[in-house]
Amino acid sequence: MLTIGKLGKSAGVKVPTIRYYEQIGLLPDVGRSSGNQRLYDENVLQRLRFIRHARDLGFPLDAVRELLSLSDQPDHSCAAVDEIAVRQLHEVRARISRLQALEAELSRMIAADQPGNVAQCHVIEVLGNHDLCAHHDHGDAA
């Protein structure tokens, strides 16, 4: 049995995150010791590692919840899991595309700069006037 601190350390997750996952139902309520400490077993550790890995791969919490639900049904078809993973892959590719557009715009802005003072700085000019930006669709890059 692990205390919350040891659970967090073993899974690489901070204690407030564990409490949050408990609060939103991703982790189960657990028993307490005679000293009123939460005590976690190996199953909770594995579940927390699963959540952490899914989050590291960018899965939103709703998708993590779906994946956990499906993982609790080992005889269920894998098609639903694949569908969630494909959705995440599409989101990652869209994010990469937006980041590449940002990279191109930043490179263009920097390349257009000439030595001089800030009043003549192309980067400052473009940041102050969005119409000078070649890529108008980069508002949601991160």
Please report which confidence band the pLDDT of residue 135 belongs to, taking 50, 70 and 90 as the band edges: low
Is it the case that residue 55 has pLDDT exceeding 90? yes
Asked if 52 and 88 sit in the same domain, the reply is no
User: Quick one: residue 41, left, alpha or beta (phi over 0 = left, psi -120 to 50 = alpha)?
Assistant: beta
Instruction: Find the mean pLDDT for residues 17-27.
Output: 95
Separation of alpha carbons 119 and 113, rounded Å: 11
pTM: predicted TM-score of the whole model, two decimal places: 0.76
Asked if 2 and 68 sit in the same domain, the reply is yes
CA 110 vs. chain centroid, Å, equals 30
Asked if 131 and 88 sit in the same domain, the reply is yes
Q: How many domains does the structure of the chain reveal?
A: 2
Asked if 67 and 86 sit in the same domain, the reply is no
Separation of alpha carbons 126 and 142, rounded Å: 20
Which of these, 56, 58, 41, 52, lies nearest to 14 by C-alpha position? 52
Asked if 64 and 125 sit in the same domain, the reply is no
Is it the case that residue 77 has pLDDT exceeding 70? yes
What are 124-133's pLDDT values in tens digits?
888 888 887 7
Is it the case that residue 117 has pLDDT exceeding 80? no
For residue 127, the model assigns a pLDDT of 83
Please report which confidence band the pLDDT of residue 98 belongs to, taking 50, 70 and 90 as the band edges: very high
Asked if 81 and 112 sit in the same domain, the reply is yes
Instruction: Find the mean pLDDT for residues 93-97.
Output: 96
Asked if 86 and 102 sit in the same domain, the reply is yes
Give the domain range for residue 127. 77-142
Separation of alpha carbons 112 and 90, rounded Å: 33
**Which class for 7: exposed (0-12), middle (13-18), buried (19 or more C-beta within 10 A)?**
buried
- What is the number of alpha carbons within 13 Å of residue 46 lying toward its C-beta? 6
